[in-house]
Structure 1
Amino acid sequence: MSTNSIAKYAPESSSGMGVRQCGIVALCMFLNMTDGFDLFLIGFALPHLPKDFASASEKGVIISLALVGMGIGAIFLARLADRFGRRSTVLCGLLVNLVGLVVSTLAVNQVMLMTGRFITGLGVGMVSVVIVVIAQEGAPRNRRNMSTGMVMIGFPLGSTVAGLGGAAALSLTAGAWQSLFWLGAALAVVSLVVAFFTVPESAAFLARSSGVASDSGPGIAPVAALEDSPASGAHRALLGRSLWATTVLLAGGYGMLSAAYYFVGTWTPQLITDLSRNGATGSLAGIAVSVGTFVGAILFALLGLRLSAVRLTLAFLFLAVVAIVGFALLLPNAVANVFAGLLGVAVFASLCGYTAMVPTWYPVLARAKGYGMMLGVGRVGAVIAPLLVGVAVGVIEPAMIYLLTVIPVGFAVASSLFLLPRSRSKITG
């Protein structure tokens, strides 16, 4: 059908969320939760592997390969959604994820487990990109920030469910590590079935790709507005003349911010335990950061109803700098946990902000590719940052390590400042 016939199903940019649109956002949040569950499951399985199954260094590789796979999936596979559609790419990604979980379950050695985790990462990378694009394209312009925040809540929620569900599975199976991956595979099957019957194709994609669809097609999601003109090949090139600056600023800022986030999320319990010589204190700091991520996503969703994504991101980035300095200076005082929670809020809300900028800066047929590039670069930061901290531990004091985190956050601030004046001509973010 024509762009005009599709547009008649699209709400005005100032309209609220309908039942169907809320359902799409809830579905994408659920799929993001399953991604978080599958990605963090390995952390609960490693302590239960047989002693001769994998060395400490091999366990590190097992963890990293999922992130490497996620980066590759986000950069090179998620872009298929711009060519073949959002729905088919999500279903393919969920199937790849399921295959990876089954391979992990049947692993008889570390190589097979590494392979399974890498395959899982590929699937998670594909799905995590496309579901955000689907949620944003199915929301009115003035609700895109809220939709992004709600979808992003799913990922930390999934990691929490992985801990609770994993503990229950291990308890019921006398510590059998394979039970964790069977649980993940079962959830993946449920996700695949639910997605098959409910994930819609974006009307924006249909309009921009071919302009032909049925007015009554059951798999078409409403879109907020078909605001950009059909994208030519040159316009869709991420490093082409019209998009290269945007791509570098978004991917660079998001990558630096991801490095800070994964350092804080993975190393805080260990560093605080070493500093305080108390495991409970370290765990409390880690919990404060985790709770902060939930609050950050919710705050971004609510504030995004009134403020643009770029301005919100800048505000939360400055808050992150304050939280980092306060946390570092107060260590190991218990009051530092307040700043740990604030740090979780600020950093994760900033990540939500970068995610929400994508539909503003990229045309329809480059959105999955653009967000995939940004997320893939972020995974590079996620892999490198914990490794660098591992080298620094024992040489640099924990407080100084946290203060050094201001550097990547500062790069993200600079990126957002460059994007701010360019965003003033945009309707949102």
Structure 2
Amino acid sequence: MAIPQNQCPKQETHPQPRIEGKLDNLTKGVADIPSKVDEFMKRCVQSEEKFFIKRKEAEGLRSEIQSLKAQLQQEKADRQDKVEQLQKKSTEAKGLRSELQSLREQLQRQKAISQEKVAELTTTIQRLDEDKKLRKVILGNALRLTISDDEIRERFVNIRQQIHTLVNNRAYDKTREFMPHDAAKDCMLRIHQRYNSYGLRDRVLYLRSMVYQIIWHYILRVDAFGLAGSVPPLECNQKAPEALLDGALGMFEGLLRTRKGAVVLFLLFSTRSHANKPLVANEVISDWRLATFKCIENFSAALPPRDTSTARNAIEGFLLPLLTFKLGPVKIRREISQLCDDAFAICLSARKSGDRYQFDRPRIGVKYEKGLDTVEVCGVIGNGDASNYVEFSICGALTKKAGNEEREVTYVLEPAHVMLEDKENESLFEP
């Protein structure tokens, strides 16, 4: 800036100290720059360290925030699952309540049905009590013969021994053969042919078998009541009413043991539905039989039981071709009559006892099973090797049945005596 000429510059007072002071300050400032720079650098380093620390803390916080977010999401998902489970359980609870209500209604219906059944059973029990009282009145002192298993076994063995004695009587010539007869039936021709084919020992055993079969067929298997035994033989042969009634009673008892008989009685005396037709219980049949025996015993108590069947005639006729008349046929007839009467007596005793004794049918041509207590092997035809088939039964078995219809047990009191076929002829019986 130009200074006017007419003006003189002002003279400053003491300028030198001021400049020097500034220079001193500048010098000091310049001298302090390194220390300040160092201090600044230290501060920068400290700031950077703090920055890194803060950044790590920030990263940790971000990670923690991320973890918290994930945890919150998981908790949210868990809560959602719990809500869904609660909703599902709520639905199930509603279903259970509905099912419970249905079950309650069903139980109410069943309770009503049960009450009806209890009422029916109560009525049935009362009726059974009345039937029991009536049964006692009907039976009273009903004839129930006391007979032990040993006693009936002994009497059965005695029948077997009587057959043995009869067949071994010298009046019968076992060396003879049965001659063909034009009027003979096919079954008798086969019996004669079989007898003729045997040796002497087997012929005797076969005759015993045939005599027992006749007794079993006409006496032991029959449901007799002994009513015909009170009729003189001549009248009985003319079919007296007593004989006809005895046969009818036996047929009726046999009918009761079958389902057909039970159905007939059910249709006659029941007004209920025919859906379940019961069988007649063994106890009912036994009571009826014993009460009937009591009436018959009172009717013919003075007369001993006597066989009036055709068994004696059948035995005499079968053995007649072997009889030698020189040895007294009258005695033979008495033995046969006694045998039939004894068989008839044991049959009646077994039926009066209340127990169910059974005289088994003879076995002929059936397969032999080892280990059965109902069969006892007495030998082999012709003393040959034993086969698996029964040639014939010398005598049938005596058994006793115990228990009810559902669980019936069979006890063998006396086994059947059988002869086995020779193994060489086994193919004759194979199917």
TM band (smaller chain): under 0.3
TM-score using structure 1 length: 0.23
Structure with greater Cα Rg: 2
Higher relative contact order (CA 8 A, sep 6+): 1
Instruction: Compare the two structures and name the one with the higher helix fraction.
Output: 1
TM-score using structure 2 length: 0.23
